[in-house]
Amino acid sequence: MSQKLIVKPTMAQSLFSLSMPGVDEIFPGFAPGDFAMLYGSPSVNSLTSLLCIRAQLPVQFGGLGSNVVFIEGGNTFRLYKITRLAQIHQLNPRQVLEHLFISRAFTTYQLTSLILDKLEETVQKYNAKLVVISDIGGFFLDNDIPHEEAQRVYSQILSYLSSFAKKNQIILIATYLPYSDNKRNYEFQEITCSKANTVLAFSKTPYTREVTLEKHSHLMLGTAELPSENLTLTDFMGA
């Protein structure tokens, strides 16, 4: 008697999901080599905090079993949130922070240097499989920086990040925060979308919170409602 074995594709096994009912149906997760953009709501920063926690979980529990590199571009990191999320996941907050390596930028120049000059060395040093860059576009919207220079350097950074993620087979997630009153905002948001291979937009209506998969190499695009009954998700959306 012969037996038929069902083997899942290797790629499916390596996905790092958001672990949100409904959302996972339209977006099963990030794959090694992805350069992803999350935008549309300030709450994306709380989501990346959650991903920084979950990335440290063993692979069998949906994590990456990995250290995380976090490049702070917009003063978005909140220690209390990491502590709370770690406790929700029954992890020791101190141990979680020991595996989270944070680099802060306070100027356009510092952010550019952290990415172009130091990112590769940092990822290799800490053997990180996840890199998060918060508020990646914020500094470049400053009107004190000539528009053409800001556009040129920003495009260079994004091209580098896209190639870097593929070359090193890591997951690289950047958040783009809303600056609706800035004249450069829409243009730089579009530049980011064009360079990322995965784009997730988060929105809020008076009745629902939704996530839309706007760009992906092979998945069907679509929108899902964010569930509110999940404790971790409630914490994330309450930011």
- Is the CB of residue 51 less than 8 Å from the CB of residue 129? no
Among 15-24, 101-110, 113-122, the range scoring the smallest mean pLDDT is 15-24
Domain 15-237 fold? Rossmann fold (3.40.50)
The tokens for 34 are 């992805």
Predicted confidence at residue 4, as pLDDT, reads: 38
pLDDT digits (tens, 9 = 90+) for 49-96: 899 999 999 998 889 999 999 999 888 788 888 888 888 888 899 999
Q: What count of other Cβ atoms lies within 10 Å of the Cβ of residue 47?
A: 24
pLDDT digits (tens, 9 = 90+) for 126-182: 999 999 999 999 999 999 999 999 999 999 999 999 999 999 999 999 999 988 889
Predicted confidence at residue 238, as pLDDT, reads: 39
- Listed by start position, the domains of the chain span 15-237
